[in-house]
Amino acid sequence: MVQPQRRARNPLSTAVAAVLLLVGVIGAFWVPIYARSAPKLGDFPFFYWFQLIWMPVVMVLCYVAYLLMRTSPAAADNANGAPATDGQGAK
């Protein structure tokens, strides 16, 4: 049986998730931030290492946003209009 772990989505966590995702997008969209060669990391101009490092940063941002936005199976069953304790849906 699925334990009802209600995680009603509150507006705050949705807002935080939205901000995190927005930061991720803007970091790549705002080209003047990284269209420069200094400072270098090793032999890599800033333009290259910034984008290569921004990628894992965005992964983390997306994952945190996922944790904030995920629906527990019970909450999802609720949303379907079924009783939250109905474990049949797990099959």
Partner 1 sequence: MTHINAVSFTIVIVLFAVVTLAGFAAARWRRAESILHLNEWGLGGRSFGTFVTWFLLGGDLYTAYTFIAVPALVYGTGAAGFYALSYTIMVFPIVLVFAPRLWSIARVHGYVTPADFVRGRYGSRGLALAVAGTGILATMPYIALQLVGIQAVLTVLGVGGTSGNGFIRDLPLLIAFIILAAYTFFSGLRAPALIAFVKDTLVYVMVIVAVLYIPTKLGGWGHIFGTASTHLKATNPKTHKPFGSLIVLPAGEWAYATLALGSALALFMYPHAITGVFAAKRRNVIRRNMAMLPLYSIVLGLIALLGYMALATPAVNAGVKAGGGNAQLSVPLLFEHMFPSWFAGIGYSAIVIGALVPAAIMSIAAANLFTRNIYKEFFRPEASPAEQTRVAQFVSLIVKAGALVFVLALPKTFSINLQLLGGIWILQTFPSIVAGLYTRWFHRWALVIGWAAAMVYGTIQAYRAPVAGQPNSHFGTSTAPVFGHVMYIAIAAFVLNLAIAIVGTVVFRALRLPEGADETLPHQFTADPAAAAAAPVPATAAVPGTRPGSPSAT
Minimum CB separation of residue 14 from partner 1 in Å reads 10
Minimum CB separation of residue 81 from partner 1 in Å reads 4
Of all helices (H) and strands (E), which one includes residue 87?
none
Look up residue 57 and give its two tokens: 């940063």
Residue 19 contacts partner 1 per CB under 8 A: no
Residue 84 contacts partner 1 per CB under 8 A: no
**Where do runs of H (alpha helix) occur along 1-91?**
11-29, 46-69, 73-79
Residue 74 class from Cβ within 10 Å (0-12 exposed, 13-18 middle, 19+ buried)?
Answer: buried
* Residues contributing to the site for partner 1 (CB under 8 A): 18, 20-22, 24-25, 27-32, 35-37, 42-45, 47-48, 51-52, 54-56, 58-59, 61-63, 65-66, 69-71, 73, 76-77, 79-83, 86, 88-91
